[in-house]
Amino acid sequence: MSILVTGGAGFIGSNFVLDWLAQSDETVVNLDKLTYAGNPENLASLQADARHVFVHGDIGDYDLVLGLLNQHQVRAVVNFAAESHVDRSIHGPEDFIQTNIVGSFRLLEAVREYWNNLQSAEQQAFRFLHVSTDEVYGSLEKADPPFAETNQYQPNSPYSASKAASDHLVRAYHHTYGLPVLTTNCSNNYGPYHFPEKLIPLCIQNALSGKPLPIYGDGQQIRDWLFVKDHCSAIRRVLAAGKLGEVYNVGGWNEKANLDVVHTLCAILDELQPRADGKSYAEQITYVKDRPGHDRRYAIDATKLERELGWKPAETFETGIRKTVQWYLDNQSWVNNVLSGDYQAWLDKNYAGR
């Protein structure tokens, strides 16, 4: 038996695959379209590992997905594949509709066909876990309680609207067809292999290269941060013990204003790799025009996951962010490859024809 991970060359997916194979001998079939955000270099340590089967392809390719499910006798699917960057969704929503909605639909259809043809014991053991975001719940005011699983969906960006649509499809496939699904809605992740267009890796990289650290608007937008490996452990827990058809919010109770996050990064960098002129990296902070429709606050209530499934994050924001900064300092060649044509060359060399 094996599990099918989609989007396993992206930020969270690659962390999940690495963590999974560090703890289990079960084969991981990794289906990824390798968009700009998919980076097989994240999985370079698995090049010679027969337990990792990488397949270059689209979740929207019904025949491909059904073929993989049958060929590898898949017992669970974990769906990370998505277009995930809010700014990109504002400038060009089309890809978000195609992958997050149409792609998820075709993936569900292939999984439904496969699951219908399983023997009853295998049908009962099968799981489809859909990885989603807290952004589907919309934006909170300062005094509002954090998002619970019962909150109404109020997505505000094309990204969150497309994720909300996929969450609804997953729910409907459970209610209509009995497909054994689970959904997780997680807060903002940070950690190793984060594409350097997102706030934390962008600021670390810009700081080190002497560039401005851009802060949208007043920098008081609040996000709830979770170290990526804690998200991975939550997904493993839900996959193993979650109740079918249920939704689990995942978060670490770490609400921070964006400006405070950037100041924290600057303070850690000042300590670990001081600027040549002895000044603080905070001098590079620059305020830029706010993103249109920017949600003010996200916060996750993870009580259900903690109480019912006994999950707890291993990292606090302070320990996780320090590990993250250290990882970027230790892996500058990874960042430089992502940011340069070398990444494309590496891709062509190592993954030609796959």
Shortest spacing between CB 273 and ligand NAD, in angstroms: 25
Please give the Cα distance from 349 to 301 (Å, whole number).
Answer: 44
To the nearest whole angstrom, how small is the minimum distance from the Cβ of residue 205 to ligand NAD?
Answer: 16
Q: Closer CB to ligand NAD, residue 160 or residue 284?
A: 160
Report the DSSP beta bridge partners of residue 2: 27, 74
251: amino acid identity, one letter:
G
Structure tokens at 67: 């073929």
CB of 286 vs ligand NAD, minimal distance in Å:
23
Q: How far is the CB of 31 from ligand NAD (least distance, A)?
A: 6
83 catalytic? Reply is no
Would you call 159 a catalytic residue per the annotation? yes
Nearer to ligand NAD, 165 or 284 (CB): 165
Q: End-to-end CA distance of the chain, in Å?
A: 22
Kindly state the tokens that stand for 343. 């990444």
Q: Is 89 in the site for ligand NAD (CB under 6 A)?
A: no
Residue 7: left (phi > 0), alpha (psi -120 to 50), or beta? Answer: left
Given the complex with ligand NAD, which of 114 and 227 has the nearer CB atom? 227
How far is residue 249's CA from residue 133's CA, in Å, rounded to a whole number? Answer: 9
Report if residue 189 touches ligand NAD, rule: CB under 6 A.
Answer: yes
The answer to the question of residue 223 lying near ligand NAD (CB under 6 A) is no
Judge contact between 216 and 258, C-beta under 8 A: yes
By C-beta, is 95 or 270 nearer to ligand NAD?
95
Q: Respond yes or no: is residue 109 known to be catalytic.
A: no
Half-sphere exposure of 194 (CA within 13 A, CB side): 25
H/E stretch holding 343: helix 341-351
Q: With binding defined as CB under 6 A, does residue 65 bind ligand NAD?
A: no
Binding site for ligand NAD (CB under 6 A): 6-7, 9-13, 31-35, 37-38, 58-60, 80-84, 99, 103, 131-133, 163, 186, 188-189, 195
- Residues annotated as catalytic (active site), given as ranges: 134-135, 159
